[in-house]
Amino acid sequence: MTGLPRLTRPADAPIPGIGVVHLGLGAFFRAHGALYLEEAMAKSGGDWGVLGVSLRSPGLRDRLAPQGFAYTTCELGPAGETLHVATAVQSMLVAPEDPQAVLAAMADPAVTIVSLTVTEKGYCHAPSTGRLDFSHPDIVADLADPARPVSAPGYLCRALDRRRKAGIAPFTVLCCDNLPENGAMLRGIVLELAARMDEDLARWIEAECAFPCTMVDRIVPATTDADIERLAQRTGICDAAPVMHEPFRQWVIEDNFVGKRRPDFAAVGVELVADVRPYEHMKLRCLNGTHSAIAYLGYLAGAETVSEAVARPALAGFVRHLWAREIVPVLDPPSGVDLGVYTQALMQRYANPGIRHRTRQIAMDGSLKLPQRILGSIADNLAAGRAPKGLFLAVAAWMRYVSGVGEDGRPIDVRDPMAARLKAVWDDNDSVPEIVAGFLSIEQVFPENLADHPVMQAGLIEALNALLDIGAEKAASGFVR
Ligand code: CS2
């Protein structure tokens, strides 16, 4: 790539004022929310420029800054790539370098939305309950040194406190992570933290602030060096931070904004609704639930990507079984949505050969993903008197994956905040029933009613035995009719 000119901000790109601060700027928001905002401004105007914040490392800022924060989006359709230079992001801050600058930006009266994609682990909560984990090191740090927040909830509380003290209305907190009732959950977390800081702040947030729930959807595989190279070859311009994404996108938002101040989302296809729950259940359980199942079983079976996994009849058949028999029967679809059609479209999205979405990328942070993606469907099946054996196999595949050794005997790079604890379950127990009991006793992941359920215990033991005896692909093939 050396010698190629660097991507620059197009000379005719608008320069809107900053109306949105986005915490956790990464590939997903750049390929999803930022594009909707750009289109909404193009259609209906408004100052909804984005100031991105990285809560950790400077890497992305360092790549984007020389490009004026513009970047290429590559839509990977079955028939080829469509490129666009995205310009909604105006600038970026790296929080640990200057926490005061981030707080000042969040307290700016012109900023009326603070959106977040900090991934499941960024909320410092216990996934089985959705409550703040006060023993989380970032929360301990937030409470110890008010001037230098570390966590996303810490930044929200401190910035809201500044606004309150300055007599400025709060911003709307727009959570865009794949969590159950994400806005309501984040509201609970922020209120818990705020109450520890100052009861008056908590009361003010409770009364004045808005935390709409959202459902976000677009498959965005991590950009690789090979993607950067390919793009440079094709365009003759070097973009150090492009994003890859599928054609499909969806954004459903609860229409609850402070002072009704929001971009003209409706003009660009965002669905503004009164209740996001049916959409969220559909998406988290049908898409993310099977994504995680494919990630663990597919990885164990040697499939590097989702499209490679669903090209195998055993794994594709297994996923269809999950939808038809174990997930859809316990879902209430949003009105007007046919879940048969929805899941068929999902299979096509998974099979898109243009998208190289790695099973190991999706396998990350399973301890924080399983509850909303899979355990909810299991609980609903058990309540209806059914044993969801395919979902048990998916959970057992996660247990098998976090052992850290694959079916081929090679080490697995397990990325999970709980990785050491998960590995210890294997090290400290000998028999499969003991291993299953060891996992079920992790109360941050498994709610009590599930952990104690005899059908769940027996089902997991059977599934883990099958994985160890015959391997992931064969075990999955048992579900194919
Ligand atoms: C994936 C999601 O990495 C993962 O855990 O399941 O990022 C998924 O691709 C998106 O939620 C799709 O909208």
pLDDT in tens, 138-186: 999 999 998 899 999 999 999 999 999 999 999 999 999 999 999 999 9
Atom of ligand 1 nearest to the CA of 292: 6
**Rg of the Cα atoms in the chain:** 22
Centre of ligand 1 to C-alpha 287, Å, is: 8
Question: Can you say how many angstroms the Cα of residue 245 is from the centroid of all Cα atoms in its chain?
Answer: 15
Identify which has the larger pLDDT, 423 or 79: 423
pLDDT in tens, 6-28: 999 999 999 999 999 999 999 99
Return d(Cα 163, Cα 275) in angstroms, integer. 28
**pLDDT classification of 481: cutoffs 50, 70, 90:** confident
Q: Residue 1 pLDDT more than 70?
A: no
pLDDT in tens, 294-339: 999 999 999 999 999 999 999 999 999 999 999 999 999 999 999 9
Pocket of ligand 1 (CB under 6 A): 178, 217-219, 287-288, 291, 361-362
**pLDDT classification of 3: cutoffs 50, 70, 90:** confident
Q: Residue 111 pLDDT more than 70?
A: yes
pLDDT for residue 106:
98
Atom of ligand 1 nearest to the CA of 361: 3
Per-position DSSP letters for 91-139, written without gaps between them:
EEEEGGG-HHHHHHHHH-TT--EEEE---GGGG-EETTTTEE-TTSHHH
pLDDT for residue 2:
64
> One-letter amino acid identity for 105?
A
pLDDT for residue 147:
84
pLDDT in tens, 176-219: 999 999 999 999 999 999 999 999 999 999 999 999 999 999 99
Return d(Cα 350, Cα 307) in angstroms, integer. 6
Atom of ligand 1 nearest to the CA of 28: 7
pLDDT for residue 363:
98
Q: What is the mean pLDDT of the segment spanning 235-256?
A: 98
Atom of ligand 1 nearest to the CA of 291: 6
Pick the residue whose CA is nearest to atom 1 on ligand 1. 362
Q: Residue 243 pLDDT more than 70?
A: yes
Average pLDDT, the chain: 97
Query: Tokens in use for 110?
Result: 């012109």
The proportion of the chain whose per-residue pLDDT surpasses 90, expressed as a percent, equals 97
Exposed/middle/buried for residue 188 (C-beta within 10 Å: 0-12, 13-18, 19+): middle
Centre of ligand 1 to C-alpha 167, Å, is: 39
pLDDT for residue 150:
98
Cα distances (Å, whole numbers) of residue 330 to 40, 105, 257, 317:
36, 44, 31, 19
Q: What is the mean pLDDT of the segment spanning 123-140?
A: 96
Predicted TM-score (pTM) of this structure: 0.97
pLDDT in tens, 455-464: 999 999 999 9
Pick the residue whose CA is nearest to atom 3 on ligand 1. 362
The single residue listed with the structure tokens 């509201």 is 187
